Chains A and B, each alone.
Chain A
């Protein structure tokens, strides 16, 4: 007989001594891969963002946009690989961010931007300093955060300054660990020597600001000055010395216009103390029944590109353990507030456990269903395939993460099919007892099922592989699924053809005898009899077949209608159950640090009321160490005093009942009770399950000019607030920051004969402060910054500051002129934030969804309806766009972005992938069956999966997510195999002259059990995933979709045959022997 590819393969390997060696090698390579492959919780999405920050001193935001932002945008847009260009413009500063296409190498991105900007340095406008270019990629996200805080009631006074110093030393120690990347410290204040000029005393003694600055700067100069000869030696000369203490500085002599002898300490307070940063961090930790409240400093540690987070985390923690007691005293508590290595490891171990569980369950199923010998073979085959897949995955550069492990878990149920089919057939042939040797029988058995097995494997691969081409941020996120599942299928084919027969031959106790009930052509069980009864009634007449088909069709349409009626809601990806939450506080611009701290303290008090919270760290005026979400939303730039956030730590998953999403919803309701001033917002931010976006619901408003845009945007914000399940609404334009403008009065300057430059230089020095050098203390101690700065308590525009001497009148009898004499102070509110995307000015309204609906599509529909009904007054009703910026900006437009953009890109691409998959499967089946109409019959069960999918989602109250869609697509490949086998069987039997109904019933009866078996195996694989919040959708799709389509396929295909090809011969009532 014609052996075909499979038969030849088996023939070559079944008797070869190399086969067991291949088996052992495969297992060894796989185990090595499992131990060395990097582990992560989520797949890494490389979307490099390059921030170009340009200071535009003195320019208001609209002017800065014209002078700096627009030319810079055109330069950046010309760089290869840039997908979007965002501009954030404020008074005195512009930031242009270039976002590159997903998958771009961060180094390449950085080099291209640097090159383009450097090439255009000659075009920098006068007065604008060179830009600061920062590249941020996924590898800069700190995977480990250590927070230092004093233990409550610990001896010794641990101030945030002392903690900062400790953190600095710890940082240098940690940097010695291999593969530690970027590290930074949040919170705490360094010590400095601060010279606080006292305007009253400076006026008294006749010392101007410039004189003070100059004296201190020159006194702190030291430099090498060549060498001299002395007693036959060459002696190195150093000139000057650096100041070492406040006393030294206090005794410096200053020039006074009165001609007197004045010292620095006469006109200024020189103190050594913590720098007065406008930022503070503190930590609350649960202590028994109460809470401790201590200052805190966080050290954030990132890994280098390509390193394994688990290994780096463990190495850092090991190093930390050696430092406890030595560098870190016992009175300081080092809490690990974030450890992505540990969570990745836990997740990977949990999933590997589920993998093993699924394997064992399937082996037991096969043991009961077919036989224990077959189960034993399966026990070897499944792990071998999985290990080979992991090895291949490692080679291709993928990591072990949630997505790849889930791909493997659901593919277990499928890949076992190849082996089962082969094993079964071999056993069947051996059971025929027709005199062939074991080996020959095996080879022929393999050859018989070879081709269908190849086709079946290829259909699954064809269904899954197009998913690799989903674009955007979801692409890399989902890429492990098609890659791992396809690799698993291909390996399973080879394992089924090479290793399974070899194992069968080794494990056979007797050459020909069968042990358990074999699937004999003529043997049928109870299931088959049940099948015959039901199917017989369905295909009894043509009419009954038609009715059945119509009912099934109606059920499918009804299932689809469930989406329209919102019985089954849609979501991109559900929230995962994590152990961290973030509360982000934005007070209106102009809020002082203390007022922000007060609001944050109130928010922390509310948060502490949740029973699942174990600790929280509060950051005012600075940002908590950012995560991937913070990277995309630029949270690391939050350093203004009106900004604050809380990093909330929850108890580990197994110690609490509620999932983090439910906790977040509860927290949001509780936080709504806190009164914030007009323009202040407080948001609860959860780690997004998939790719992060600026906000879940994001409306971008375009318009002809700033006033129209703002008016429309404010109305849209109002509409957002009116919808109950839209929460955390905030905007991008903000509130004008209160300002004070000091303008030198020309006439006064003329009459006093004082120059502008002296006045403005003095203002710059006094108000901005300046670091004039460092005091080196030697002995390994940190040098202290020496700075001339007004203390916070003096930073009030009043008589005190107005008396600051800023210049000296010329002439023989000079006197000092006070600031208040020569400047006019006026209130000058700042500009609103300006945001631009890809060259167009935009105002954004952002929000989250919680409660009744959680997918942006529902919010969008309700807001669109509200926009149509709203009274817009003089402004034309804005047009609504779903994708792509408007070409015509003369009319106001609302563009939906945020999670919607990823949703529609993903579903569009997956829909296209599905279309391609169906086409591919069609081609394969045409190639197999050499007919054009038959493959259409084979493809009909695919829509039948929807019935089960929808029922499953309703039962579990689960939304239909991207993973459900993946399940739907994967199912297409899986169930096609059943109909192929059925149709194949029918075709073979049709030639024997029996009635169509007899053939159909026999085919169904015989194939029903193996079809059911493979379906149940796949369902077990899926059932193991049901508990994961994100991939529950996949599990439900597979579980229920398989159930419904398996049961319906075995009835629908015969019904179609009857409808199309009825030969009007009834089924013979001969009962077959049991």
Chain B
């Protein structure tokens, strides 16, 4: 009886030991793990837009110059860089001394002519009176009338000349040709300006992003097409816009187009903006970023083999169409199954 009990205890102990040993066989480090079923991605070639990076500038549709109409000395500049102006607002005054003096001379001529006209009028009154009294003949009256007319016309002419000269002087006022923002108004007061010289540069029209594309790509531009913009170049204001105008002229082998987008900043006019235009379609192997692990500067994709084991294969990647996808250039093929990083 006792022997049986001892034997039984020993068997039980032995069995326990065996079971413990079986349980203690841990898989060693780095044995092939198997992946869970969810989260698996079967790779396939996808059609993506073929985007062409295009240099662009943030600018306004037109750019206006407030030009001096007459040469002279800039006596007043009422705007500075960055000011907003209305159309027709006075921005500067140019004075040409010479014109002032000319106007004075014409003033004197007007005075002389008016004196002459007064004398002719007095003559005429006197002659009329005398005619009325029958002293002078009609011929003389007509002569003096004509002379008076001449004198008053001369006065009018002198006045007109004076008015023209004054008007020329008034042309020293420079008005804003369009409503917009002053980009540059850096001619110092007191400097000599020539007729036609731009005193202030003012934006005109709405803010656009102007693209320049080689003429061979012109067919890729269509009105109304969406163009991607780099928000970092626009202070985060917009990330895409629409082509609203394509200029017909080819300049130096390049075609230009305007892209508008809501909220484009007006204070970065002239900034270079990176834009991407779709020029077609191409095939690419894409995967979300979480399926790629980066170790020591090398990217690895976690491949699931037919028997379920996961192995990491090095891949060459490049940026994908959106921030959270990558395009895989080599290392895996269409039909391979990936599992996300971090899965057991």
Q: Which chain B residues (284-320) contact chain A, with CB distance < 8 Å?
A: 296-298, 311, 313-319
Q: B315 contacts which chain A residues (CB < 8 A)?
A: 594
Give bound CA distance, A855 to B247, whole Å. Answer: 79
- Chain B interface bracket (under 10, 10 to 19, 20 to 34, 35 or more): 35 or more
Residue A369, interface by CB 8 Å: no
Q: Is the CB of A821 within 8 A of B51?
A: no
- Chain A interface bracket (under 10, 10 to 19, 20 to 34, 35 or more): 35 or more
Residue A183, interface by CB 8 Å: no
Closest to A809 in B: B252
Q: Is the CB of A161 within 8 A of B296?
A: yes
Q: In the assembled complex, how far is the CB of residue B228 from the closest CB belonging to chain A, in whole angstroms?
A: 12
Q: A201-B274, A598-B313, A601-B313 are in contact. Are A803 and B52 (CB under 8 A)?
A: yes
Residue B279, interface by CB 8 Å: yes
Residue A152, interface by CB 8 Å: yes
Q: In the assembled complex, how far is the CB of residue A370 from the closest CB belonging to chain B, in whole angstroms?
A: 62
Give bound CA distance, A291 to B305, whole Å. Answer: 19
Q: B319 contacts which chain A residues (CB < 8 A)?
A: 793
Q: A751 contacts which chain B residues (CB < 8 A)?
A: 253
Closest to B328 in A: A594
Q: In the assembled complex, how far is the CB of residue B279 from the closest CB belonging to chain A, in whole angstroms?
A: 6
Other-chain residue from A153, A157, A200, A796 in contact with B274 (beta carbon distance below 8 A): A200
A255-298 Cβ-contact flags toward B at 8 Å (1 or 0)? 00000000000000000011000001000000111111101000
Q: Is the CB of A199 within 8 A of B53?
A: yes
A589-601 Cβ-contact flags toward B at 8 Å (1 or 0)? 0001111011001
Q: Is the CB of A809 within 8 A of B253?
A: yes
Residue B216, interface by CB 8 Å: yes
Residue B28, interface by CB 8 Å: yes
Q: Is the CB of A592 within 8 A of B330?
A: yes
Q: Is the CB of A820 within 8 A of B214?
A: yes
Q: In the assembled complex, how far is the CB of residue B286 from the closest CB belonging to chain A, in whole angstroms?
A: 14
Q: Is the CB of B53 within 8 A of A815?
A: no
Q: A593-B330, A594-B316, A595-B331 are in contact. Are A203 and B50 (CB under 8 A)?
A: no
Residue B21, interface by CB 8 Å: no
Q: A290 contacts which chain B residues (CB < 8 A)?
A: 27-31
Q: In the assembled complex, how far is the CB of residue B251 from the closest CB belonging to chain A, in whole angstroms?
A: 9
Give bound CA distance, A287 to B254, whole Å. Answer: 64
Q: B273 contacts which chain A residues (CB < 8 A)?
A: 204
Give bound CA distance, A792 to B317, whole Å. Answer: 8
Other-chain residue from A273, A601, A799, A813 in contact with B279 (beta carbon distance below 8 A): A799
A804-840 Cβ-contact flags toward B at 8 Å (1 or 0)? 0000010001010110110000000000000000000
Closest to B253 in A: A752
Q: A751-B253, A793-B318, A796-B318 are in contact. Are A203 and B28 (CB under 8 A)?
A: no
Other-chain residue from B28, B279, B297 in contact with A289 (beta carbon distance below 8 A): B28
Residue B55, interface by CB 8 Å: yes
Other-chain residue from A201, A605, A792, A799 in contact with B50 (beta carbon distance below 8 A): A799
Give bound CA distance, A159 to B294, whole Å. Answer: 12
Q: A287 contacts which chain B residues (CB < 8 A)?
A: 28-30
Residue B329, interface by CB 8 Å: yes
Residue A428, interface by CB 8 Å: no
Q: A752 contacts which chain B residues (CB < 8 A)?
A: 253
Q: A792-B316, A800-B53 are in contact. Are A594 and B29 (CB under 8 A)?
A: no
Q: In the assembled complex, how far is the CB of residue A9 from the closest CB belonging to chain B, in whole angstroms?
A: 71
Give bound CA distance, A290 to B27, whole Å. Answer: 8
Q: Is the CB of A203 within 8 A of B55?
A: yes
Give bound CA distance, A793 to B298, whole Å. Answer: 11
Q: In the assembled complex, how far is the CB of residue A379 from the closest CB belonging to chain B, in whole angstroms?
A: 54
Q: B313 contacts which chain A residues (CB < 8 A)?
A: 594, 597-598, 601
Q: A649 contacts which chain B residues (CB < 8 A)?
A: none
Residue A794, interface by CB 8 Å: yes
Q: B318 contacts which chain A residues (CB < 8 A)?
A: 793-794, 796
Q: Is the CB of B52 within 8 A of A597?
A: no
Q: B54 contacts which chain A residues (CB < 8 A)?
A: 203, 803
Residue A160, interface by CB 8 Å: yes
Closest to A592 in B: B330
Residue B149, interface by CB 8 Å: no
Q: In the assembled complex, how far is the CB of residue A121 from the closest CB belonging to chain B, in whole angstroms?
A: 42
Q: In the assembled complex, how far is the CB of residue B230 from the closest CB belonging to chain A, in whole angstroms?
A: 9
Give bound CA distance, A809 to B253, whole Å. Answer: 10
Q: A798 contacts which chain B residues (CB < 8 A)?
A: 50, 282
Other-chain residue from B216, B252, B296, B331 in contact with A813 (beta carbon distance below 8 A): B252
Q: Which chain B residues (226-270) contact chain A, with CB distance < 8 Å?
A: 252-254
Give bound CA distance, A152 to B50, whole Å. Answer: 44
Q: A794 contacts which chain B residues (CB < 8 A)?
A: 318
Give bound CA distance, A818 to B252, whole Å. Answer: 13
Other-chain residue from B252, B253, B330 in contact with A594 (beta carbon distance below 8 A): B330
Q: In the assembled complex, how far is the CB of residue A263 from the closest CB belonging to chain B, in whole angstroms?
A: 13
Other-chain residue from B52, B212, B316 in contact with A799 (beta carbon distance below 8 A): B52
Q: A159-B297, A818-B214 are in contact. Are A288 and B28 (CB under 8 A)?
A: yes
Q: Is the CB of A793 within 8 A of B317?
A: yes
B129-165 Cβ-contact flags toward A at 8 Å (1 or 0)? 0000000000000000000000000000000000000
Q: A809 contacts which chain B residues (CB < 8 A)?
A: 252-253
Give bound CA distance, A747 to B338, whole Å. Answer: 48
Residue B40, interface by CB 8 Å: no
Q: In the assembled complex, how far is the CB of residue B221 from the closest CB belonging to chain A, in whole angstroms?
A: 14
Give bound CA distance, A781 to B298, whole Å. Answer: 25
Residue B272, interface by CB 8 Å: yes
Q: A295 contacts which chain B residues (CB < 8 A)?
A: 296
Give bound CA distance, A201 to B56, whole Å. Answer: 11
Q: A152 contacts which chain B residues (CB < 8 A)?
A: 29-30
Q: Is the CB of B53 within 8 A of A160?
A: no
Q: Is the CB of B314 within 8 A of A280?
A: yes
Q: In the assembled complex, how far is the CB of residue A204 from the closest CB belonging to chain B, in whole angstroms?
A: 4
Q: B282 contacts which chain A residues (CB < 8 A)?
A: 798
Q: In the assembled complex, how far is the CB of residue A267 from the closest CB belonging to chain B, in whole angstroms?
A: 11
Q: Is the CB of A597 within 8 A of B254?
A: no
Give bound CA distance, A289 to B55, whole Å. Answer: 58
Q: Is the CB of B30 within 8 A of A293?
A: yes
Residue A101, interface by CB 8 Å: no
Q: In the assembled complex, how far is the CB of residue B160 from the closest CB belonging to chain A, in whole angstroms?
A: 46
Q: Is the CB of B30 within 8 A of A803?
A: no
Q: A793 contacts which chain B residues (CB < 8 A)?
A: 316-319, 329
Give bound CA distance, A798 to B284, whole Å. Answer: 11
Closest to A260 in B: B272
Closest to A273 in B: B297
Give bound CA distance, A593 to B316, whole Å. Answer: 9
Q: Is the CB of B316 within 8 A of A160?
A: no
Give bound CA distance, A597 to B317, whole Å. Answer: 15
Give bound CA distance, A794 to B296, whole Å. Answer: 19
Q: In the assembled complex, how far is the CB of residue B42 from the closest CB belonging to chain A, in whole angstroms?
A: 17
Q: A605 contacts which chain B residues (CB < 8 A)?
A: 311
Q: Is the CB of A160 within 8 A of B296?
A: yes
Give bound CA distance, A204 to B29, whole Å. Answer: 51
Q: In the assembled complex, how far is the CB of residue A309 from the closest CB belonging to chain B, in whole angstroms?
A: 35
Q: B27 contacts which chain A residues (CB < 8 A)?
A: 289-290
Q: In the assembled complex, how far is the CB of residue B267 from the closest CB belonging to chain A, in whole angstroms?
A: 18
Q: B50 contacts which chain A residues (CB < 8 A)?
A: 798-799
Q: A290-B28, A792-B316 are in contact. Are A200 and B53 (CB under 8 A)?
A: yes
Residue A802, interface by CB 8 Å: yes
Closest to B296 in A: A159
Other-chain residue from B272, B296, B331 in contact with A157 (beta carbon distance below 8 A): B296
What are 28 A-B contacts with C-beta separation under 8 Å? A160-B296, A161-B297, A204-B55, A204-B272, A274-B297, A280-B314, A287-B29, A288-B28, A295-B296, A592-B330, A592-B331, A594-B316, A594-B330, A595-B330, A597-B313, A597-B314, A751-B253, A793-B329, A794-B318, A798-B282, A799-B50, A799-B279, A803-B52, A809-B252, A815-B252, A820-B214, A821-B214, A821-B253
B residues whose Cβ falls under 8 Å from a Cβ of A: 27-31, 50-55, 212, 214, 216, 252-254, 272-274, 279, 282, 296-298, 311, 313-319, 329-332
Beyond A594-B315, A799-B279, 12 additional contacts (C-beta under 8 Å) are: A273-B297, A601-B311, A751-B253, A752-B253, A793-B319, A793-B329, A796-B329, A798-B50, A799-B52, A815-B212, A815-B252, A817-B214
